[in-house]
Amino acid sequence: MLEPVSRVTVRTPVRRFHNGVFTSRPDMVAGEEPLEIRIGGRSLTVTMRTPGHDIELVHGFLHAEGLIAAADDISEIRYCDGVDEQGRNTYNVLDVTLSPTATSPTATTASSAVIPARSFTTTSACGVCGTASIEGLQRRMRYRLTDLPAFAPTTIIALPDRLRARQQAFRTTGGVHAAALVNPDGQLDHLREDVGRHNAVDKVIGTAVMAHELPISGRALLTSSRASFELVQKAAMAGIGMLVAVSAPSSLAVQLAEETGLTLIGFTSAAGFNIYSGARRVRGSAG
């Protein structure tokens, strides 16, 4: 039987086979619950996420989708509806009221809360591309990706261990991704964890949106996951010039990074890393 310890972690009994012996013991797993995002009372999407930093997640998601450009484009955001069998609020529905300043290429006016024609469901395994093509994304980008102060290779290879050392939920469950912003000196900012890699990134960028830090031109984005198209998309939309991934990139992620001028680094470990695009932002990489 699942026993919530918090909304981030849940205790569950398991039968473990180790060294040829079965034993019974409790284990901790990552919390995963649906979050419905509404605009003006109308459902936009449902994402499976680890509860926590939900408002930041919504800011990051709406920014990546081109529905907001800054925190001021949201006039109100509140939990609503969403009750369990005992009538208690589940805090799994957030309703957003957009400000008149908010604009969307597929909406009419923000004040009338007309949302894009598409609504979609996302899971913790896959993100949502706001456009069907790289060309469409480039039309929606608000910032030109400027060159960062070049990162030293020694700084980059230290990042996975620095990220892992601060992943509290991962240490407990082993089942969440993490993302953070990184300064050229290796300092990590706005570290967030989630069962969905795209949710973790939305929480990081959403935190920056709410702190009025966009464009994020002086820092890189670090993720514990692979580098997919949607993660490059989210970075580029926020003005981030470098994405460092612990795992591999996809082919479309590499193509998008090249087209937008983003530095894409993958397979990052203490032993080294691969630069797939934008090598100029890494010291000593010319050649």
- At residue 69's C-alpha, the angle toward residues 65 and 75, to 5°, is 100
What tokens appear for 165 in the block? Answer: 């050392």
What tokens appear for 3 in the block? Answer: 């026993």
Verify whether residue 126 is a known catalytic residue. Answer: yes
- DSSP helix/strand/coil, 134: helix
H or E segment to which residue 100 belongs? none
Sheet of 220-223, strand order: 188-194, 177-182, 220-223, 242-245, 263-269, 272-277
Distances (CA, A) of 181 to 67, 185, 287: 22, 12, 28
The active-site residue out of 126, 165, 211, 270 is 126
H or E segment to which residue 128 belongs? none
Residues identified as active-site: 126
